[in-house]
Amino acid sequence: MQIHHTGYAPDSVAVIGSGGKADGMLQKRLQRAGFRVQLLSLGELDKLRPGAMVVNAICLGGSEAMDRALETSRRLAAEDTGPLVHISSYRVFPGGTRKRYDEEDEPAPTTDQGEMWLACEEALRDRPGVTILRFGWLVDRSEQALLGRILKGILSGKSLQLDDSSSGSPVTLADLCRVVVAVVQQLASGAPESGVYHYGAADACTALEFGREVLERAQSFYDEDFGVALEPAPGAENRSAVLASEKLRDVFGIQQRSWRQGLTRQVELWLERLGGSQ
């Protein structure tokens, strides 16, 4: 039997997931890149292959998975594995500023969820070979995320009020997976094995700006107007948290993409998922 050599070392990756949509996407993309992939939960960490690289993606399960995420991070800190890529969030920062947060800025979360994101990072901070990837706000992690909420509102014919005070760096799951797989490939090819890196869209926006683009894309699949109004939410507090991504580009050569890139296809897929396609 012919053995296929990818040149990766290690060539085995374990994705620690929460059972959500991101797990399968990461698994498939890593397999297409040539890795042998394990998809494990917190209760299956004893099945980790010796020396395998680990992608700790359990935090993507949302607030309901954060307790498990913290326990997983603590467990992984004591595991003898290869390089570890930990997926984190802009939520470790307080927000409310028009400046862009870079990797040198000190985390100072102001929400319970932000505290948990930071606790997961800190549990892994002293472990050798940890790469922390902080992403901007995920627009399509679940039906409760921004894209799903907007499209459900559009399909129900209800007008929506969206934040137009806070700017962010939106990221789709597809783009997150692209970045994670690119980092894994380079780590397995000899790139530096530790550090903190940020990634967000090349162009920041507010939830209202994002919603208006989504509405425009959704209209393109129908012959009639939805008759839905998108309006600024009154009294919205400025929680802007835009991430600077130059360090990731300079070290790994990963270019930012606009959040508009591929949005039409994302809208189409979510309309199908929500039962709204015709």
Check residue 207 and give its pLDDT: 96
Interval 87-110 mean pLDDT: 93
Check residue 136 and give its pLDDT: 96
Residue 6 in domain: no
Check residue 135 and give its pLDDT: 98
Check residue 79 and give its pLDDT: 86
Name the pLDDT band for 81 (thresholds 50, 70, 90): confident
pLDDT, one tens digit per residue, over 128-170 is 999 999 999 999 878 788 999 999 998 888 889 999 999 999 9
Name the pLDDT band for 121 (thresholds 50, 70, 90): very high
Residue 1 in domain: no
Name the pLDDT band for 5 (thresholds 50, 70, 90): low
CATH number at residue 182: 3.40.50.720
3-state SS, the chain, equals CCCCCCCCCCCEEEEECCCCHHHHHHHHHHHHCCCEEEEECHHHHHHCCCCCEEEECHHHHCHHHHHHHHHHHHHHHCCCCCCEEEEEEHHHCCCCCCCEECCCCCCCCCCHHHHHHHHHHHHHCCCCCEEEEEECCECCCCCCCHHHHHHHHHHHCCCEEECCCCCECCECHHHHHHHHHHHHHHHCCCCCCCEEEEECCCCCECHHHHHHHHHHHHHCCCCCCCCCCEEECCCCCCCCEEECCHHHHHHHCCCCCCCCCCHHHHHHHHHHHCCCCC
Residue 238 in domain: yes
Question: Does the pLDDT of residue 42 top 50, yes or no?
Answer: yes
- Give the domain range for residue 180: 12-272
Name the pLDDT band for 99 (thresholds 50, 70, 90): confident
Residue 277 in domain: no
Residue 188 in domain: yes
Name the pLDDT band for 1 (thresholds 50, 70, 90): very low
Question: Does the pLDDT of residue 192 top 60, yes or no?
Answer: yes
Residue 7 in domain: no
pLDDT, one tens digit per residue, over 220-276 is 887 767 888 899 999 888 999 999 999 999 999 999 999 999 899 889 988 888 874
Please tell me the pTM assigned to this model.
Answer: 0.92
Count of domains in the chain?
Answer: 1
pLDDT, one tens digit per residue, over 174-190 is 999 999 999 999 999 98
Question: Does the pLDDT of residue 23 top 50, yes or no?
Answer: yes
Residue 4 in domain: no
Residue 120 in domain: yes
